Amino acid sequence: MPIADRVAVRLRVNGEEMAVMVAPYKTLLEVLREDLGLTGTKHGCELGECSTCGVLVDGRPYLSCLAMPLDLEGREITTVEGMAHGSDPDPLQVAFAELGAAQCGYCTPAMLLTARALLDRDPHPTRDAIKEALSGVLCRCTGYLKIFEAVELAASRGRRHG
């Protein structure tokens, strides 16, 4: 599309104000990956079917492939790049790494963020609550078990530091 038709979008991502000029029909997924260089957010369908593109908006899971950036001005967007505190990983990230919960790692960013939202809401979820919370995020590698165990391990280690 002609550059003249682009619109200015201001987003708050991982606590940082960011501004870009983008085509107005670009999704949040595309703006994050292509305009802001945040390629940690993945995609598996771009149609709202797999949750691979999941990010957090104001702490709640959100499908970035269906979200329009202009609607999210002023909201707090968190991507996987924003999970660690400096070089100190989130306890979920540590648990996923230790237990082999990231095989290919492609679903991992969305799994981690979805699990983060769960633990923030319910610090000691039951197995069923974990299954329920993660049920929208597809993983083809792990059979989900190591993911459940990693969420439980992170929960047992307590809240994020920092």
Partner 1 sequence: MADELAIVGKSLTKPDAFAKVSGQTRFADDLALPRMLFGRILRSPHPHARIVGVDTSRARALPGVLAVLTGDDLPIKFGILPVSQDEEALAREKVRYVGDPVAAVAATDEWIADEALDLIEVEFTQLPPIMSIEQAIAADAEPIHGASNVHKAVALEFGDTDEAMRAAQHVREDVVFFEGNTHLPMEQHAALAQYGADGKLTLWTSSQTPHYVHRALGKVLELPMSRIRVIATPNGGGFGGKSDIFSHELVAARLAIVTGRPVKITLTREEVFYAHRGRHPVLMRVKTGLTRDGRITAMQFRSFLDGGGYGSYGVASTYYTGALQATTYAIPRYRFEALRVFTNKPPCGPKRGHGTPQPRFALETHFDKVAEELGLDPVELRLRNLPRPDSRTVNWLRITSCGLEACINKVVEGSGFLERRRSMPRGRGLGFAVSSYLSGAGTAIYWNDMPHSEVQLKLDRNGGVALLCGAIDIGQGSDHILAAIVAEVLGVALEDIQLTTADTDLTPIDLGSYSSRVTFMAGNAAKAAAEKVRAQLFEAVARALPCDVDDLVARDRRIVRRNRPEEGVSFTQAVQLVEAGGGVVTATGSYTPPKLAGPYKGSGVGPSPAYSFSAAVVEVDCDVSTGEVRVPEVWIAHDIGRAINPVLVEGQVEGSVYMALGEALMEEQTFRLGLHKFPSLLEYKSPTALEAPVMHTYLVETIDREGPFGAKEAGQGPLLPVIPAVANAVYNALGVRIDEIPITPDKVLKAMADRSKRVGPASTPAFEFPPLIKAEIPEEWKGK
Residue count at the site for partner 1 (CB under 8 A)? 57
Are the CB atoms for 77 and 108 separated by under 8 Å? no
With residue 55 as reference, give the H or E element that holds it: strand 54-57
Contact between 141 and ligand FES by CB under 6 A: the answer reads yes
Least distance in angstroms from the C-beta of 45 to partner 1:
4
Least distance in angstroms from the C-beta of 118 to partner 1:
12
Q: Name, in order, each residue with C-beta under 8 angstroms of 102's C-beta and a sequence gap of 6 or more.
A: 96, 108
Contact between 139 and partner 1 by CB under 8 A: the answer reads yes
What per-residue string of b and e applies to 95-110 under the rule 16 or more CB within 10 Å gives b? bbeebebbeeebbbbb
Q: Name, in order, each residue with C-beta under 8 angstroms of 149's C-beta and a sequence gap of 6 or more.
A: 99, 101
Contact between 142 and ligand FES by CB under 6 A: the answer reads yes
Least distance in angstroms from the C-beta of 76 to partner 1:
18
Residue with tokens 């610090």: 123
Closest CA to 67 of 15, 32, 22: 32
Interface with ligand FES by CB under 6 A: which range of 37-45, 69-77, 84-92, 150-158?
Answer: 37-45
- One residue of 89, 94, 97, 106 binding ligand FES per CB under 6 A: 106
Chain residues that interact with ligand FES, rule: CB under 6 A: 43-46, 48-53, 63, 65, 102-108, 139-142
Chain residues that interact with partner 1, rule: CB under 8 A: 1, 23, 33-34, 38-47, 49-50, 52, 79-81, 83-84, 89, 93-94, 96-100, 102-109, 112, 130-132, 134-148
